[in-house]
Amino acid sequence: MSNVKTLPKHTGYYTSKFQAITDLGYNDPNTDTDERQVRIARILRQENFDLDIKIGYDCADLGHRESEYYEFFQTRAPGEQELEQMYEDFYILEKRKKRIPMGMYVEGELFIFSGNRRMRTHEYALTKIDEKTGEQMHESRCDVLVIDKPDLSTNDKLNLAHRLARLANKQEDSVRDEKPSEDYPYQLLTAYRLHCQKYPEASKWSSEQKDDWGKKWIIKNISEDYDHESRSSVLSSIVNSAFGMNGRGVSLPMPDDDTIRAKWKEFFGRSATWNLTSQKVTMLKLPSRPDFIRQTLYNEWKQRLTPSAQRKSCYLVIRAGNRLNSEISSLKTVEMARKTALKAIADYNKNPNHGFAGFHIIRRVMLVKQMNLDDYVAYEWDEDTEEFYQKEKPSNG
């Protein structure tokens, strides 16, 4: 952490800040019935953080899910859950929002360590457009508490975020109410990555050194219960799972259309467009299930208004999984699903019956980034070799 000392806040600083939060209709973090909020408030006071309340925040600089920093603000291995119900609660039924989201800025973007789903709900609501007027349907009902301290390095902020996010997402009753097999290995692996950023030599540790460090970290940061002999096997299982994860990470939701359009241009050129309403080219967003892809393409062919033996061009954006919103935290699973889907699409293109009947020919495919560990990949069909070849990765990633 920074060695720069900051002057203590004036008497009443935190009282006035927390009172401002309650004036907005939220619970006071100091006296909340949720002990996690009380603990976070205590840390903010004791460690002399600056607090700023953004009212009616428009989410314009909200940290992107694909950012390299996002994982350090999240502690649940599966990632975000569905937002539709919370959207209805906040923006349709206008229910009271009990707790204000909390976050901090890293490299110009605001990342949330407490209340991420609530914040993503607000972001989602602000994308809603009235079909009749073409105008934004909702004014922001989002407020957020932003914390800061002078001269914190990026690594300091990520370590702090990981600490506060673990506290914010910890189950209230006891450590046994959480999901050690899912959440703790992910938290430990994230902590180890942070440690390696600060101490690069740790990345060269032997398995024994990593295991020893991991066990001490779990006992210190999760629960001293794991130091008891009766829990030694559980502790070993958590540590082994973390350092044997080999490609387990945070599942990201399906990117929005603006992101897809931007990535599409990066791969296929500035003049290339992604437009789901295009009449010249059929463009579809699909999960990677081969049977679903084939059935969707068949339905598109069957519904043509004018029969033709000419094959219409088709572009696909694919996300691994049985559904577009499938939460997959295994990189190996994602890679296997991508490979299977691409082979199925190539087979579809090469099927002579499809060519004779005028079925679509898939000329471009983009596989979206759906984990913090993977990236966008794009392919283009080669008529001569009848194979997909991978497009060069954009220089800006």
Residue 136 — φ and ψ, nearest 5°? -60, 135
pLDDT for the residue 170:
64
For tokens 């009172």, the residue is 19
Q: How many CB atoms lie within 10 A of CB 347?
A: 12
Give the domain ranges of the chain. 1-170, 178-250, 257-390
pLDDT for the residue 131:
84
Q: What is the DSSP string of 118-137?
A: HHHHHHHHTT-B-TTT-SBS
**Would you write out the chain's pLDDT as a tens digit for each of its 397 residues?**
444 455 567 778 999 999 999 999 999 999 999 999 999 999 999 999 999 999 999 999 999 887 889 888 977 654 455 678 899 999 999 999 999 999 999 999 999 999 988 999 999 999 999 888 889 999 999 999 999 998 899 989 999 999 998 887 665 544 434 455 567 888 888 899 899 988 999 988 888 899 999 999 999 888 889 999 888 888 988 888 788 655 667 778 888 888 999 999 999 998 889 999 999 999 999 999 999 999 999 999 999 888 888 999 999 999 999 999 888 878 889 999 999 999 999 999 999 999 899 999 999 999 999 887 788 999 999 999 999 999 986 554 4
H helical segments located in the chain: 13-23, 35-46, 84-87, 116-125, 154-169, 183-198, 207-221, 232-243, 257-268, 290-302, 331-350, 352-357
pLDDT for the residue 82:
64
For tokens 């009282």, the residue is 15
Inter-residue contact 59 to 126 (CB < 8 Å) = yes
For residue 105, what are the CA distances in angstroms to 114, 161, 177?
13, 10, 31
Inter-residue contact 249 to 329 (CB < 8 Å) = yes
pLDDT for the residue 173:
47
pLDDT for the residue 97:
92
pLDDT for the residue 244:
67
pLDDT for the residue 397:
44
Share in percent of the chain as helix, strand, coil (round to 5): 45, 15, 40
Contact partners, residue 259, CB within 8 Å, separation at least 6: none
Strands 109-114, 102-106: pairing kind: antiparallel
Reading phi first (left if > 0) and then psi (alpha if -120 to 50, else beta), residue 221 is in alpha
Query: Is residue 171 helix, strand or coil?
Result: coil
pLDDT for the residue 302:
93
Helix H or strand E segment including 22: helix 13-23
For residue 261, what are the CA distances in angstroms to 131, 234, 271?
21, 46, 11
For residue 60, what are the CA distances in angstroms to 86, 88, 117, 125, 257?
20, 21, 16, 13, 16
pLDDT for the residue 150:
86
Q: How far apart are CA 166 and CA 38, in angstroms?
A: 14
Q: What is the DSSP string of 192-210?
A: HHHHHHH-GGGGG--HHHH
Helix H or strand E segment including 277: none
Contact partners, residue 230, CB within 8 Å, separation at least 6: none
Helix H or strand E segment including 114: strand 109-114
Helix H or strand E segment including 380: strand 377-382
Inter-residue contact 133 to 121 (CB < 8 Å) = no
pLDDT for the residue 371:
84
Q: How far apart are CA 165 and CA 174, in angstroms?
A: 17
In 3D, which of 83, 132, 84, 103 has the Cα closest to residue 40?
103
